[in-house]
Amino acid sequence: MPTRPTGMIWWIVRPQLKRFVLGVLIFIGMSAVWMSLPAIVAEIIDSVTETRSLNEALPWLVALMACTVVGPLLFITGYRILFVAESRARVRIVELMSDHLERVGTGVRSKVSAGEMVNLSTDDNRKAAQLLFELGFGAFNAAAFGYGVFMLWRIDWFLGLATGVGMFLIGTCIGPVLERLHRRQTAYRAQTAEVTGQAADIAGGLRILRGIGGESQFERRYAEASLLLRDTGYRLGRADSWLRGIEGSLPFALAAAVTWLAARQAVQGNLTVGEVTAVFGYNMLLANFLGFVVGIAKNWIEAMVSARRLSSFFATRDPLPAEGAGIGRGALVDPLTGLVVEEGSGLTVVVSDDGDAAKAALARIAFRSDSEATWGETRLRDLDRGVIRDRVLLLEEDYLFRETLRGSLRADDDEAALTALRTASAEDVYTSLGSDLDAVVDDAGRNLSGGQRQRLRLARALAAEPEYLLAAEATSAVDAPTEARIAQGVSEARRGRTTVVISSSPLWLTRSDRVVWFDGGKVRAAGTVAELAENPEFRTLTSRAG
Amino acid sequence: MRDHERLPTADRRTVLRSLGRLIAADRRTFGAALVLYLAAAAAGAALPVMLGRIIDGIGEGWTLSDVDRLGFLIIAFVVVQLVLTRYGRLLAYRFGERAAADLRERFTSHVLRLPLGQIERAGSGDLTTRTTGDVAAAANLLRETGPQTAVALLQIIVVYATAFAVNPGLGALLFVSTPVLFFAGRRYLRVATPVFLAERAAMGDTAETLTATTAGAATVDAYRMGPERGEEGRRTAAVHFKRLMGILRMQSWFFPSLDFAILFPVGVVITVGSLWFLEGGPVTIGQVATVSMLALRLDPYVFGGMMSLNAFQEGGAALARIEGVSMVGDDRSRADAPGPEGVIMDEVVFGYGDGPDVLHGLSLEPGRGKRLVVVGPSGAGKSTIARLIAGIDRPRAGAVTVDGAPSADLELAALRKKVVLVTQEHYVFTASLRDNLRLADSAADDEDLARALRMVGADWAEGLAEGLDTMIGGEHRELSITEAQQLALARVILADPEVVILDEATAGIDPGSAGNVEASLAAALHGRTVIAIAHQLQAAEAADRIAVVQEGRIAEAGTHDQLLAAGGAYADLWRAWKGVAA
């Protein structure tokens, strides 16, 4: 995967190379048609003024009409080819982003924010792929320029030279302005992001602002950022308005100057009036095209920025080592805390004064983070990760993707799906979606309540039937009778396998085969509830409301 | 979950009035920009006119000095055009930036004054789209596409006017392709918006899919969903490609029509003009050359104008959604409630939207300065009670009053001194810790803030390197669920209302520390009315009173001991809670 922006761009262009070349060739043909127009007009005017009849001009009139038809057709043909090339490139970037996420998603997660991900897959993708188009148009303009200078040269070598040098000077004049403009644009975009971020923040926390207060404080802060954006916009306007003035006037100044030179030649009888018209026509078309060239230059700069951002996305790596190969056997052990989870040990309840420490320990023995944790005698990092994932499942704040309820549950068949829902006391998820396994669960489970989401996640974990189910967050958002049903259902459904739940609820403890007590981030004791309940400290931790 | 009720959208008249107001607010800049643009366009059109003069002059036997005089004049015109264009564009930018700033600040003020109930009903999605995407699109209309379209239109008008001034007969010939332009333009405008919207939606789907895959990367890894998520990404990309081809199909007839409409008049002007000239009509060959060159000059403006029409429409639609927010009025009229009664719910009937009743004639009186715990199974209507007391919703029948005034009628400034609702959804603003706290009490000093944090057990705050200035939320220091909850509770202590409703507010705090937080919160809120809603029973035993809600009614109420003795629903809940087999 290319890590430099230029490599990235080549990598986007390469698969579309044939299409791209064909499009460019057609555009070059089109530039010849466009640039012939002044020459044809000149021939008509000269033959009309000289012969005082339309007869000799007739072939030129036909040619003119042919250009009127052929020009647009050539344009749209080339345009279509380049558009398809660009679209294919955009699709390909998304495909490769998908592939990359498939391989190292967890690595991307810690490096790329959600907002960034949206930008990468929409704006940056479009800007980078747009290069195919910009290069095509660039070729068109370069061809038109070369052709125009050549035609002028044929009329009078000095006029051709003057036009060529003039256009070059205008280009060098615009360069620095463009650079300054780019800097201002970057500043403007950064400030826009700040203002947009603040607005999103206000919308997101609006119920707090309206419920508790702080409207004027946040309004003031927003107004300050907004005014700063306005002033940044003024500065951008100063640079951009010069560019607009220059690109809209300097080429015409050149056209005027060259036409003037041609007129002097005509007065001296060296050029015909038709040729003067042609000189003017070439210059005016070139002036029109120069505006496009400036646009291409701007987009090129943006494309490079986007390509750089894309290449750093593709440079993200998997945070976990991937070389392991063996298959684990025996207990999962976390040496850091002393947590040992035996194979087939039924329901273990972890009681902890600090929930985060217990969650981190489960993450280590589930190989979500790299550590010295072992499976039997072997370190997890030396084992085949796919096998670990198949046999050990960590249930935490898992994500619910937008898919059908059946797809969300990932069960072998409908019977198993419904059983998992029942065990997790999540029948209401099923009924609230119209008792239909094909009903769609929204992205992040947005069409479910917090409690429903939690029980659906549990149902999904149960349906996966892992040998080890490590539940960091199982029933924190459900009421007591439901929790009692879940504890009973889970302990029965997973008899003979291994289940670990972090909870201090008596409803889980009464169902447990074994209890592990975390204190100060380490395992302090393990045993049955009855054994541990002899310790008064443990009783305080687990007895509720006195 | 209830369906969200979208915020209103303004009609065309309101949008135009709002545009008019923005222009009127800065009419000098607007007018000056317009005049400068017109002058610049006119100066630019002088070029082809003078070409005609030269051609005819050569026929009339001009000398070198005649040509030189005109040459100077042309160059002078171009320089004038440069200056006019520059300052015209500068003023247009100033106008656009100022108008965009006005618009977004006014919009944000409106958003910050939205009624509580409306905010809850609209959901955050619609509002966030309006505050971010729509504001950006409207700003783009004001500072980019608006001026561009205006410039293109002015240029086109000036070119036509110049052609007429040069020779009315030849000028009229430029209109031969106007019907093509008109019909192609009209058809394009009609079909383009949905085509572009479909493409945008497909791109949005792709972004949503990839973003979800990233956000759920751990889940993807745990369940080995990689291949199917990858497949989903590739599928959305394929749909996007189809939508892009839809745009291409449309442009495939539109672009050639435009090109043809621009080029065709050139041939017509030359053919007809030459015939006319040969027959001795009122036309010179210079004029024929001028008008045909003017026709070519239309090319970038017609194309540019047509291309920005779309963005123009989008900006208008965004403006309609922005103005829609200002149409939401507040229905609160009571400035204060002086009574001594506290919170009273009397025979309250309530349901969401057009849905069935959720509460069926429920009555509840916590008592001033008392601590009431509301318990009951999920879906019994506990959170609905909280929303009604907090004045978010209005009962269908019966009354919910705070100190004698209906809570849904109290103005927010007065209401929030009386009642504050804390839910389990805790929002952390992307701002300093100080700003996150002071929104509850703008007069609080650092010592007050530190005390409030200590009271809720937020010891982590003392360890922050930059203290209260530490930026939290967003890309800054991320707060854990526990920390965010402590922050929310610290806000309540600072706000110091008479009634605090805690709707599952401590649900995510570790069991070890939840008790401490509850205790310190109770101490901090001493003398205040506390209504705690819980589906678990931590706090019930110590409460002054317990109300059990079942199916929208109070099933029973009383102290812990009374209810246990009664052996009803609460006693059952309690047994379940204590793990005694039910």
Q: What is the pLDDT of residues B65-108, one digit of tens each?
A: 999 999 899 889 888 989 999 999 999 999 999 999 999 999 99
Question: Is pLDDT of B311 > 80?
Answer: no
User: If you compute the radius of gyration of chain A from its CA atoms, what whole number of angstroms results?
Assistant: 36
Q: Counting beta carbons within 10 angstroms of the beta carbon of residue B423, is it exposed (0 to 12), middle (13 to 18) or buried (19 or more)?
A: buried
Domain-embedded: residue A322: no
Question: Is pLDDT of B389 > 80?
Answer: yes
Q: Where are the alpha helices (DSSP H) in A205-214?
A: 206-211
Domain count of chain A? 2
pLDDT, mean of residues B512-538: 75
B448: closest CA among B507, B408, B412, B490?
B490
Residue A537: HSE in the Cβ half-sphere, 13 Å Cα cutoff: 8
Q: For A263, which of B67, B237, B431 is closest by C-beta distance?
A: B67
DSSP lists the bridge partners of residue B373 as B532, B546
Interatomic CA distance for residues B479 and B483, integer angstroms: 6
Residues 164-193 of B with CB under 8 A from A: none
Q: Which of A287, A314, A341 is the last residue of a domain?
A: A314
pLDDT, mean of residues A149-178: 91
Q: CA torsion, points B271, B273, B274, B276, in degrees to nearest 10?
A: 120
Residue B477 burial (CB count, 10 A): 16
* Predicted pLDDT at B5: 65
Q: A61 vs B271: CB contact, 8 Å cut-off?
A: yes
Question: Is pLDDT of A545 > 50?
Answer: no
DSSP lists the bridge partners of residue A375 as A332, A378
User: Which of the residues B112, B129, B247 would you substitute to probe the A interface, choosing the one with the greatest number of A C-beta atoms within 10 Å?
Assistant: B112
Q: In what order do the strands lie in the sheet with A378-379?
A: A339-341, A332-334, A374-375, A378-379
Q: Give me the domain span that covers residue A82.
A: 5-314
- The gap from C-alpha A357 to its chain's centroid, in whole angstroms, comes to 34
Q: Where are the alpha helices (DSSP H) in B132-225?
A: 135-140, 146-166, 168-173, 178-215, 217-222
pLDDT band at B580 (very low <50, low <70, confident <90, very high): low
Domain-embedded: residue A181: yes
* Predicted pLDDT at A474: 80
Q: Are residues A88 and A233 in the same domain?
A: yes
B346: left (phi over 0), alpha (psi -120 to 50) or beta: beta
Say which residues have a Cβ less than 8 Å from residue B476's Cβ, sequence separation at least 6.
B430, B470
Query: For B376, which residue in chain A has the nearest alpha carbon?
Result: A479
Helix, strand and coil percent figures for chain B, each rounded to 5: 65, 10, 25
Closest-CA distance of chain A to residue B554, Å: 18
Burial string for A354-385 (b: 16+ CB within 10 Å, else e) reads ebebbbbbbbbbbbbeebebbbeeebbbebeb
* Predicted pLDDT at A263: 92
Q: Are residues A345 and A396 in the same domain?
A: yes
E-strand ranges in A381-521 read 392-395, 403-404, 440-441, 468-471, 498-502, 514-519
pLDDT band at A546 (very low <50, low <70, confident <90, very high): very low
Angle at CA of residue B29, ends B26 and B35, nearest 5°: 135
Closest-CA distance of chain A to residue B495, Å: 7
Closest-CA distance of chain B to residue A377, Å: 23
User: What's A469's domain CATH number?
Assistant: 3.40.50.300
Query: For A463, which residue in chain B has the nearest alpha carbon?
Result: B223
For residue B260, which residues of chain A lie inside 8 Å, CB to CB?
A: 68-69, 72
B480 touches A at CB < 8 Å? yes
Q: Counting beta carbons within 10 angstroms of the beta carbon of residue A255, is it exposed (0 to 12), middle (13 to 18) or buried (19 or more)?
A: buried
Domain-embedded: residue A421: yes
Q: Are residues A393 and A260 in the same domain?
A: no
Residue A350: what are its φ and ψ, rounded to 5°?
Answer: -100, 120
What string of H, E and C letters represents the secondary structure of B337-390? CCCCCCEEEEEEEECCCCCCCCEEEEEECCCCCCEEEEECCCCCCHHHHHHHHC
Q: B221 vs A99: CB contact, 8 Å cut-off?
A: no
Closest-CA distance of chain A to residue B222, Å: 6
Question: Is pLDDT of B511 > 60?
Answer: no
Q: Are residues A290 and A349 in the same domain?
A: no
pLDDT band at B3 (very low <50, low <70, confident <90, very high): very low
B481 touches A at CB < 8 Å? no
B48: closest CA among B289, B369, B387?
B289
Block residue for tokens 């029965």: A492
Say if CB A263 and CB B66 are below 8 A apart. Answer: no
Q: Counting beta carbons within 10 angstroms of the beta carbon of residue A103, is it exposed (0 to 12), middle (13 to 18) or buried (19 or more)?
A: middle
Q: Counting beta carbons within 10 angstroms of the beta carbon of residue B227, is it exposed (0 to 12), middle (13 to 18) or buried (19 or more)?
A: exposed
Q: For B511, which of A95, A98, A504 is closest by C-beta distance?
A: A504
Interatomic CA distance for residues A155 and A277, integer angstroms: 11
Say which residues have a Cβ less than 8 Å from residue A14's Cβ, sequence separation at least 6.
none
Say which residues have a Cβ less than 8 Å from residue B67's Cβ, sequence separation at least 6.
A260, A263, A264, A267, B54, B57
Model confidence pLDDT, tens digit, residues A120-145: 888 889 989 988 888 888 888 899 99
Q: B226 vs A102: CB contact, 8 Å cut-off?
A: yes
Closest-CA distance of chain A to residue B204, Å: 8
Question: Is pLDDT of B540 > 80?
Answer: no
Q: For B285, which of A49, A218, A398 is closest by C-beta distance?
A: A49
Residue B338: what are its φ and ψ, rounded to 5°?
Answer: -90, -10
List the structure tokens of B313: 């429409």
Q: A121 vs B104: CB contact, 8 Å cut-off?
A: no
Query: For A366, which residue in chain B has the nearest alpha carbon?
Result: B222
- CA-to-CA dists, residue A160 to A152, A167, A265, B61, B301, angstroms: 5, 11, 14, 26, 27
Percent residues over pLDDT 70 in chain B: 95
Q: CA torsion, points A432, A438, A443, A449, in degrees to nearest 10?
A: 10
Q: B215 vs A444: CB contact, 8 Å cut-off?
A: yes
Domain definitions of chain B by residue range: 12-326, 343-577
* Predicted pLDDT at A285: 87
* Predicted pLDDT at A1: 66
Q: What is the average pLDDT value for chain A, to the nearest integer?
A: 90
* Predicted pLDDT at B60: 87
**H helix count then E strand count, chain B:** 19, 12
Say if CB B6 and CB B319 are below 8 A apart. Answer: no
Percent residues over pLDDT 90 in chain B: 43
Model confidence pLDDT, tens digit, residues B203-227: 888 988 998 899 899 999 999 999 9
Interatomic CA distance for residues A178 and A274, integer angstroms: 37
* Predicted pLDDT at A105: 85
Interatomic CA distance for residues B221 and B216, integer angstroms: 9
Interatomic CA distance for residues B411 and A52, integer angstroms: 87
Counting one residue from chain A and one from chain B, the pairs whose CB atoms sit within 8 A come to 493
Model confidence pLDDT, tens digit, residues A10-38: 888 899 999 999 999 999 999 999 899 99
B62: closest CA among A209, A508, A269?
A269
Q: For B538, which of A94, A230, A544 is closest by C-beta distance?
A: A544
* Predicted pLDDT at B4: 53
Say if CB B433 and CB B472 are below 8 A apart. Answer: yes
pLDDT band at B514 (very low <50, low <70, confident <90, very high): low
Q: Which of A281, A314, A347 is the last residue of a domain?
A: A314
B211 touches A at CB < 8 Å? yes
Say if CB A243 and CB B100 are below 8 A apart. Answer: no
Question: Is pLDDT of B573 > 60?
Answer: yes
User: Which of the residues A26, A81, A100, A102 would you substitute to probe the B interface, choosing the one with the greatest number of B C-beta atoms within 10 Å?
Assistant: A102
B545 touches A at CB < 8 Å? no
Interatomic CA distance for residues A338 and A352, integer angstroms: 14
Model confidence pLDDT, tens digit, residues A273-294: 899 989 999 998 888 788 778 8
More confident residue, B241 or B194: B241
Residue A106 identity (one-letter amino acid): T
User: What's A221's domain CATH number?
Assistant: 1.20.1560.10
Closest-CA distance of chain A to residue B21, Å: 19
Q: In what order do the strands lie in the sheet with A514-519?
A: A392-395, A468-471, A498-502, A346-352, A514-519, A522-527
Closest-CA distance of chain A to residue B347, Å: 25
E-strand ranges in A232-381 read 332-334, 339-341, 346-352, 374-375, 378-379
For residue B244, which residues of chain A lie inside 8 Å, CB to CB?
A: 83, 87, 90
List the structure tokens of A339: 């947590």
More confident residue, B406 or B580: B406
Q: B206 vs A121: CB contact, 8 Å cut-off?
A: yes
List the structure tokens of B384: 């609905």
What is the topology classification, in CATH, of domain B343-577? Rossmann fold (3.40.50)
Model confidence pLDDT, tens digit, residues A62-81: 999 999 999 999 999 999 99
Cα maximum dimension of chain B: 122
Q: B86 vs A217: CB contact, 8 Å cut-off?
A: no
For residue A507, which residues of chain B lie inside 8 Å, CB to CB?
A: 576-577, 579
Model confidence pLDDT, tens digit, residues A308-352: 889 989 998 888 887 788 888 899 999 999 999 999 999 999 998
Q: A398 vs B229: CB contact, 8 Å cut-off?
A: no
For residue B517, which residues of chain A lie inside 8 Å, CB to CB?
A: none
Q: B86 vs A245: CB contact, 8 Å cut-off?
A: yes
Residue B105 identity (one-letter amino acid): E
Q: For A234, which of B97, B379, B475 is closest by C-beta distance?
A: B97
Question: Is pLDDT of A175 > 90?
Answer: no
Closest-CA distance of chain A to residue B530, Å: 16
Q: Are residues A149 and A279 in the same domain?
A: yes
Say if CB A230 and CB A188 are below 8 A apart. Answer: no
Residue B88: HSE in the Cβ half-sphere, 13 Å Cα cutoff: 23
Closest-CA distance of chain A to residue B99, Å: 9
Question: Is pLDDT of B397 > 90?
Answer: yes
Superfamily, domain B12-326:
ABC transporter type 1, transmembrane domain (1.20.1560.10)
Range in A514-528, B42-56, B121-135, B142-156 the model is least confident about: B121-135
Q: Where are the alpha helices (DSSP H) in B497-555?
A: 511-524
For residue B409, the SS3 value is coil
Interatomic CA distance for residues B580 and A231, integer angstroms: 68
Q: Are residues A298 and A442 in the same domain?
A: no
Block residue for tokens 């109290």: B410
The conformation of residue A326, written as its DSSP 8-state character, comes to B
Domain-embedded: residue A259: yes
More confident residue, A534 or B579: A534
Question: Is pLDDT of A401 > 60?
Answer: yes
Domain-embedded: residue A320: no
Say if CB A351 and CB A516 are below 8 A apart. Answer: yes
Query: For A504, which residue in chain B has the nearest alpha carbon?
Result: B511
Domain-embedded: residue A321: no
More confident residue, B20 or B517: B20
B245 touches A at CB < 8 Å? yes
Q: For A280, which of B51, B108, B222 is closest by C-beta distance?
A: B51
